[in-house]
Structure 1
Amino acid sequence: MGSLLPPLGSLQVKRVAIIGAGPSGLAVAKYLLAENAFDKIDIYEQQAEVGGVWNYNANITDHIPVPQTAPNVPLDKPIWPPGAVAPLFPNPMYDRLITNIPKHLMQYSDQAFLPQSLLFPTREDVQDYLVRYSRDIRHLIIFSTQVEDISFSQENGQDRWSLTARSTIDSKVAKNPYDAIVVANGHYSVPFIPYVPGIQAFQAKYPSVISHSKNYRLPQSFRNQKVIVIGAGPSGLDIGNQISVVCQKPLLNSVRSEEPLKLGKENIEEVPPIAEYLVEERSVRFEDGRVEKDIDAIVYCTGYLYACPFLKSLDPPIVTTGRRVIGLYKHLIHISHPTLAFTALSQKAIPFPLSEGQAAVIAKVWSNKLVLPEESIMNAWEKKRVEELGDKTNFHILGFPKDADYINELHDWAGCAEDGFTKEPPYWDQQQRHMRSMFMDIRKRFVELDGKATTMKELGPEFENFDR
């Protein structure tokens, strides 16, 4: 990796804070703990249970501005349901979600899904899986505590961080010093709803029509309505299929390109993006000139903005437009402040094994068993990626085979540590890469068999070799 700075042994990291007890935060904690090099590891979680986005809240939704194109929003406010012992926070999980990742690839390297879990696990399966995964690190988690601010300073040439957190139960505030911070709060908090001509006037006239997938829970509220679902990603496809069963036929799916996975399309008509909102007759005009009137519901499945409201004092800022995180090497470590790391920012990737690889690298770097390249080399990596992919969401998008390559790169990177592996992260062999390449075929076959399979063998002889 070229000449190396800082020199071996220069980081003084003994106290680490992890923001978030979701899938990536839990993985980081396990690898840091395995290194046996840190005096204090605290995990801050604003909910009362682990799981992050998988920790489902049935009726907890929030107000989303229309449009919403900037990430600079306040911290989520705790909501107290009747009779609750701890408050809840809105999240994007909906009731009937089934993952789009087969469990053989989704799982961590050291824990399998239960045999009775569906091949594509339900949200309940995943949440149960994460609760079981957290058993040996729950003593590190500070539950029902929201991080409000993290400020940076230097002391004798070393990075120092001051973290301010508030209990969501009794509002008590604590301020604690740390040597390093892992931001593992995910990127499914601030919805993205793009500006379209006329959208503000339309929203003012019909405030209940436009929503975002973050607030979607069940299809019943769309019964017999005329519905447009915007987006062709996994959530747009899944939510559109669910709503299409109960809404007026056909559901209109507004997409920029044809979705390759044709499932449930008998109730769905693909249409171009919306070019303009028309207040008169509750209408929209699509890019091909077609006008649809009397629209009852429009659901934006257009993703989220990256946001770190608790790091607002960091200069220069790490998030500006919300389309990517700025100043990172390999999507992971802050170039100017190597004691600040971010996990699972990548999209179109398999997050659990990816988080393990990132966790292994973080643990080795912060324990001074692995050194980073010179700052100029890390800056050059980021600059080259911006030149190739632009300065927006594409920066963090991987997809196959880049996600598989990245998982293996992280494995090999951590393995370069002076003491080798303490806890070895995943490495994808040819079978796992082949399974990843057949993602769509496996998912299609699963759905064709009514979504009941728990093993690859049940899908047919062409898939049985994937079972382990």
Structure 2
Amino acid sequence: MRPSGILLSAIGKQIKSIAVVGAGPVGAGLTKALLHENKFASIKVFEKRNSFGGVWNYTKPMFKTKNITSCPEIPCQTPHARNQPHVHEEHGLVFQTPVYKYLDTNVPKYLMEYDNQPFPANAPLFPLRDQVWDYVVEYSKKIEDLVVFNREVVKLRYNDEDQKYALSTTDLLTGQSETEEFDAVAIATGFYDLPFVPERPGLKEWHELFPTSVMHAKDFDCPEDFENTEGAIVIIGNSASGSDLAFELATHLKRPIYKSKRSESALPAGYDSNIREVPDILRFDTSTKSIELVNGSRIENVEKVIYCTGYLKSLPFLPKSSEVQSQGDSVLSGLITDGTRLHNLYNHIVPYHLPTVGILGLPKYVLPTRLSETQGAWLARVWSGRIQLPSLEVMKYYDNWFVENNGDTGKYHDLNFPMDVQYSQRLNTEIRRAGNGGYFGVEWTGDQIKLRSSIKPLKEGYLAYFKDTGNRAMTVEELIEKGYFEWPLDALTAVQVPQVAP
């Protein structure tokens, strides 16, 4: 069933009821923006966990004792698998999250802040995970009356005739199911749930023979867990988690840690002489328990393999192609194919054939807390009628622009600097043009853009300072004074970012 432009008429009707799926950092910012629009009679938020915080909930101690992996299968390459919650005798149902014991942010606190809510004065320049969790929970309390916790969304369907969504949920405490109707649905579940573990020759056989040797970064907690590991430790991936885990393991264990990479990373990484960078993996050799690399060399006596290869875009409650019963269902089922990206979106937010659905938090390499407010403010004004969507042709133009510039793969949603600033500026321009009233997110200033352009050397200086002194710098000025950071020359020219297509 092919979607028709007729579904665009759904945006012309008055939206009274909205369902928000997810009450994590993005869902909280979005919901606050919807509330401030003062145009919607009902906003109901569904959260499968029992508290706020989303991805920043620290769950690792609840999973370590039973050797539970976050991967439904290895290799894991299908986006339609669902991660099951773990029943913990003390904490009840627990969904594993990626944050680990010593995690701190890759973004300075000044750029992570929601509008008019600074981090506490005792937070270091790059806050720790528990500080971020406290910060997000405090911010989220203002929407608590709208949230139903322990309620997992299991099915979303669209009725073409009455232009409403049927949202089916399960109460995870009682097992009872319920289906409710809404005029619009905003999805803010985040996309750090289903691990991506790509296939390599021999991986499946390796996992069958050595089932506890392969894990994903989502399963990692702390380097102390590897103190009794005698064989080689191999990290696969060179992005944020790959660099972070390699640094933690190398500095704590003080032994070689192999990091397999296909390309250089633009993200900050701590330096340690024990990190051995090697090329991509060619195959797993179970007969010798070694890994062969694409350059012909081998890593012998491999005991632990940690995949730091990211996550699949997964929304398991969307209809599958075999379940399509309406044009709207067809649009929803076509959003996710192989899990590398979402398809047919305008502004990385709304399906251009069905704009009464909003998907928040998709862009990568952005500041998700502040962007959630900007995306939410934009979507709230679209759904209240204060921002008019352009023609279908224009929306498709923007979609194609990203395909041509980022590729029709996992990089489609990448908004590397300065693209992230350009994107926010364009949304904020439309928000301001809509007039007074409603919610306004954080606007980029020259000083913030200068800081944003310098995150990589700033975090690397911060890590070096902490490694040398055991102290966490509180400000940029402290790092400059101690000789661990100086402003890059190009940061001085980054304060003005031109407007372009994204």
Q: Which TM-score band applies after superposition, normalised by the shorter structure? A: over 0.9
Matched, 1:205 2:220: no
* Alignment match of 1:441 (pick from 457, 479, 483): 457
Residues in 1 aligned to 2:438 and 2:87: alpha-carbon distance in whole angstroms: 42
* Alignment match of 1:239 (pick from 236, 245, 264): 245
Residues in 2 aligned to 1:83 and 1:436: alpha-carbon distance in whole angstroms: 41
Q: How does 1:325-404 map to 2 (within 5 A)?
A: 325-404=342-421
The one-letter code matched in structure 2 to 1:320 is: T
Aligned residue in 2 for 1:179: 183
Aligned residue in 2 for 1:155: 161
Matched, 1:27 2:33: no
- Superposition CA RMSD, Å: 2.0
Count of matched residue positions in the alignment of Structure 1 and Structure 2: 456
* Alignment match of 1:293 (pick from 273, 277, 300): 300
How much does 1:262 deviate?
Answer: 5.3
Aligned residue in 2 for 1:123: 129
Aligned residue in 1 for 2:444: 428
Among the aligned pairs, what percent are the same residue?
A: 31
How much does 1:245 deviate?
Answer: 3.3
Matched, 1:191 2:195: yes
Q: TM-score, normalised by structure 1?
A: 0.93
How much does 1:389 deviate?
Answer: 2.4
Q: How does 1:313-328 map to 2 (within 5 A)?
A: 313=320, 314-316=329-331, 317-328=334-345
Aligned residue in 2 for 1:459: 479
Residues in 2 aligned to 1:455 and 1:388: alpha-carbon distance in whole angstroms: 36
Aligned residue in 2 for 1:405: 422
**Compared CA separation, residues 9 and 453, structure 1 to 2 (3 A):** same
Q: How does 1:94-113 map to 2 (within 5 A)?
A: 94-113=100-119
Helix, strand or coil at the partner of 2:288:
helix
Aligned residue in 1 for 2:74: 66
Helix, strand or coil at the partner of 1:309:
coil
Q: TM-score, normalised by structure 2?
A: 0.87
Aligned residue in 2 for 1:308: 315
The one-letter code matched in structure 2 to 1:414 is: I
Residues in 2 aligned to 1:196 and 1:69: alpha-carbon distance in whole angstroms: 11
Residues in 1 aligned to 2:107 and 2:287: alpha-carbon distance in whole angstroms: 43
User: Is the 8 Å Cα contact of residues 211 and 298 (structure 1) preserved in structure 2?
Assistant: yes
Helix, strand or coil at the partner of 1:169:
coil
Deviations 1:30-64 (A, max 9, x none): 01100111111111111111111101112335452
Aligned residue in 2 for 1:42: 44
**Which stretch has the larger CA shift, 256-265 or 296-305?**
256-265
Residues in 2 aligned to 1:62 and 1:147: alpha-carbon distance in whole angstroms: 23
How much does 1:390 deviate?
Answer: 2.0
Q: Extract unaligned runs of 5+ from structure 1.
A: none
User: Is the 8 Å Cα contact of residues 222 and 246 (structure 1) preserved in structure 2?
Assistant: no
How much does 1:263 deviate?
Answer: 2.0
**Compared CA separation, residues 63 and 385, structure 1 to 2 (3 A):** closer
**Which stretch has the larger CA shift, 447-456 or 190-199?**
447-456
**Compared CA separation, residues 8 and 443, structure 1 to 2 (3 A):** same
User: Is the 8 Å Cα contact of residues 62 and 90 (structure 1) preserved in structure 2?
Assistant: no
Helix, strand or coil at the partner of 2:412:
helix
Residues in 2 aligned to 1:374 and 1:221: alpha-carbon distance in whole angstroms: 55
User: Is the 8 Å Cα contact of residues 353 and 407 (structure 1) preserved in structure 2?
Assistant: no
User: Is the 8 Å Cα contact of residues 99 and 122 (structure 1) preserved in structure 2?
Assistant: yes
